[in-house]
Amino acid sequence: MNKEQIIDEVYEKYADSHWIPPSNPKGKLLSDQLFSVIPMEHSKESFINKCKTDSKFSKKWGLKIEERELSLEERNEIRDIQYFKNNLHQALKGSDTKIDWENIPTKLITITYNNETIEDYE
């Protein structure tokens, strides 16, 4: 599962939790027989932000999202890997190929859900 699929799954569970089952499915009043809905407090974006900043909320939904800036050393390492992956032939010949720093990630996002951890760079 990728990052988006995990977040979609958890957010869907959050959204589904707002449905309240009928209080008396076989009752005489129609209002007792129908499901009702509690208004949702969070959009998908605010749900993600709440999971990042509120450990109690994050734990409730089983979704831990951590975000941190990459150090210059980490970015250099990624740049070097990209350089050699993308330009191995030129590198072996000794030619100098420039790497565009705008394409080097600046953040590491770690998502943990159901004892599975995914790391993603942005």
Q: Each residue's pLDDT tens digit in the chain (122 positions)?
A: 899 999 999 999 999 999 988 888 898 988 888 888 889 999 999 999 999 999 999 999 999 999 999 999 999 898 888 777 766 666 566 665 566 667 889 999 999 999 999 999 99
Q: Give dist(CA 49, CA 69) in Å, integer.
A: 16
Q: Give dist(CA 117, CA 36) in Å, integer.
A: 35
The answer to pTM > 0.75 is no
Place of tokens 């959009």: 43
21-38 CB burial, b ≥16 within 10 A, e <16: eeeeeeeeeeeeeeeeee
Q: Give dist(CA 84, CA 71) in Å, integer.
A: 20
